[in-house]
């Protein structure tokens, strides 16, 4: 293969197609617009936050705060709508500003203090979760009439439904693909993943790009929180515990290197669909425990990490064989 970095992406697509084949053989009814619509709707919030996580991991970083930010977002929306007369769109704008600034602040600390992203975003995880607890420890229902409009859908042939949030996830992935692969910011993200020396040679301002990367992740986490509140119709401070790890798993299964510098946003989209397909298969089977979802995802993550290790060794071997 001329470009071995494409191998994880091809492996992701192959696994997804194999999973589709297995599902078709055992449960032909799974191939319907109804299941497809539910697959997009049920994984919309995860897919959106995974877009932000892909950018972070491509840069060689990590963001452990996103699950807590999603929970905070839901509680913030529910409490503000309950206690004020503000329109939900105004509340959404306020929330996205808060989560984007929160991500930017983490990026600023990572750069200014030269601290590992793991430590800073871990602190951010506890901070965002604590802020959600301060707003409310109980589940707060959202009863605004505008939310009824946000739960609208487009009817598909075969009694399927493409909901607004499912469609939004597709749009966010398209935007993510364009941002990562067609902009200077995307080029800087890949350069960061390739190492500081690469970024320095390209004349990239490290501090500015670091802030932008984590601000983007914060923006996506906030948007995911809005989608999750539409999906559940409430805000709960204990919601989405562990979602940050699920998002990381989706990115890895999508073929992005954990060390950064290699990967594709489209791969993350396939990774999210693969994880969702596993859950749908277990529901259709009816005899398997839901914990099998975690087991299969864990095995897939392990397999892709081993594949990444093999690719890194192959790249190093090719470098040593190149003439000086």
- Average pLDDT for residues 12-39, to the nearest whole number? 83
Alpha helices in 143-290 (DSSP H): 145-150, 164-182, 184-194, 196-201, 206-232, 243-253, 265-285
pLDDT tens per residue across span 272-298: 998 888 888 887 777 766 677 778 778
Question: Closest Cα to residue 46, out of 319, 300, 290, 269?
Answer: 269
In this prediction, residue 321 has a pLDDT band, given cuts at 50, 70 and 90, of low
* Model pLDDT, residue 24: 81
- Is residue 1 over pLDDT 60? no
Q: Decide the pairing of beta strands 153-156 and 160-163.
A: antiparallel
Q: Report the pLDDT averaged over residues 128-147.
A: 91
pLDDT-derived band at 269, boundaries 50, 70, 90: very high
Q: What number of residues does the chain have?
A: 324
- Cα 229–Cα 175–Cα 35 angle in degrees, nearest 5: 55
- Choose between 60 and 324: higher pLDDT: 60
Distance (Å, whole) CA 177 – CA 51? 9
Burial class (CB in 10 A: 0-12, 13-18, 19+), 98: middle
Q: Higher model confidence: residue 145 or residue 120?
A: 120
Provide the pLDDT confidence category of residue 58 given band limits of 50, 70 and 90. very high
Q: Determine the average pLDDT of the residues in 59-65.
A: 91
The CATH number, out of the four listed (1.10.3470, 2.60.120, 3.30.70, 1.10.10), of the domain defined by the range 4-316: 1.10.3470
For residue 72, what pLDDT band results from cuts at 50, 70 and 90? very high
Average confidence score pLDDT of the chain = 86
What share of the chain has pLDDT > 70, as a percent? Answer: 90
Phi, psi for residue 229 in degrees, rounded to 5: -70, -35
The residue with greater pLDDT, 44 or 258, is 44
pLDDT in tens, 75-134: 999 999 998 889 999 999 999 999 999 999 999 999 898 888 999 999 999 999 999 999
Residue 109, pLDDT score: 94
Q: How far apart are CA 191 and CA 8, in angstroms?
A: 19
- The domain ranges of the chain are 4-316
pLDDT at 53: 95
Per-residue pLDDT at 164: 93
DSSP string, 110-122: HHHTT--HHHHHH
231-259 b/e with 16+ CB inside 10 Å = b? bbbbbbbebbeebbebbbbbbbbbbbbbe
Q: Distances in Å between the alpha carbon of 226 and those of 43, 74, 102?
A: 13, 6, 16
Q: Burial letters for 275-307: b for 16+ Cβ neighbours within 10 Å, e otherwise? A: bbbbbbbbeeeeeeeeeebeebbeebbeebeeb
Mean pLDDT of 243-252: 91
Model confidence at 317, in pLDDT bands (50, 70, 90)? low
Residue 66 scores a pLDDT above 90: yes
pLDDT in tens, 293-312: 778 778 777 877 777 677 66
């Amino acid at each position: 293969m001329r470009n071995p970095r494409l191998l994880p992406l091809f492996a992701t697509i192959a696994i997804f197609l194999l999973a589709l084949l297995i599902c078709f053989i055992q449960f032909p009814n799974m191939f319907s617009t109804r299941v497809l619509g539910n697959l997009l709707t049920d994984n919309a919030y995860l897919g959106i936050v995974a877009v932000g996580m892909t950018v972070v991991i491509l840069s060689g970083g990590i963001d452990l705060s996103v699950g807590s930010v999603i929970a905070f977002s839901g509680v913030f929306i529910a409490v503000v709508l309950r206690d004020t007369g503000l329109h939900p769109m105004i509340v959404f704008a306020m929330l996205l500003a808060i989560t984007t600034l929160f991500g930017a602040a983490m990026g600023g600390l990572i750069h200014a203090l030269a601290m590992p992203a793991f430590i800073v975003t871990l602190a951010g995880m506890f901070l965002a979760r604590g802020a959600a607890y301060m707003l409310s420890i109980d589940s707060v229902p959202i009863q605004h009439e505008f939310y009824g409009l946000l739960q609208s859908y487009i009817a598909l042939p075969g009694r399927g439904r493409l909901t607004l949030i499912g469609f939004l996830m597709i749009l966010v992935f398209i935007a993510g693909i364009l941002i990562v692969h067609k902009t200077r910011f995307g080029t800087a993200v890949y350069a960061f993943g390739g190492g500081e020396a690469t970024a320095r040679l390209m004349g990239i301002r490290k501090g500015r790009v670091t802030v932008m990367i984590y601000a983007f992740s914060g923006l996506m986490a906030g948007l995911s929180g809005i989608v999750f509140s539409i999906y559940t119709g409430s805000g709960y401070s204990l919601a989405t515990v562990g979602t940050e790890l699920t998002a990381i798993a989706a990115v890895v299964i999508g073929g992005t290197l954990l060390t950064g510098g290699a990967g594709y946003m489209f791969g993350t989209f396939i990774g999210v669909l693969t994880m969702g397909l596993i859950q749908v298969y277990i529901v259709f089977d009816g005899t398997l425990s839901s914990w099998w979802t975690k087991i299969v995802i864990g095995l897939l993550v392990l397999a892709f990490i081993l594949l990444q290790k093999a690719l890194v060794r192959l790249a190093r071997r090719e470098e040593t064989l190149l003439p000086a």
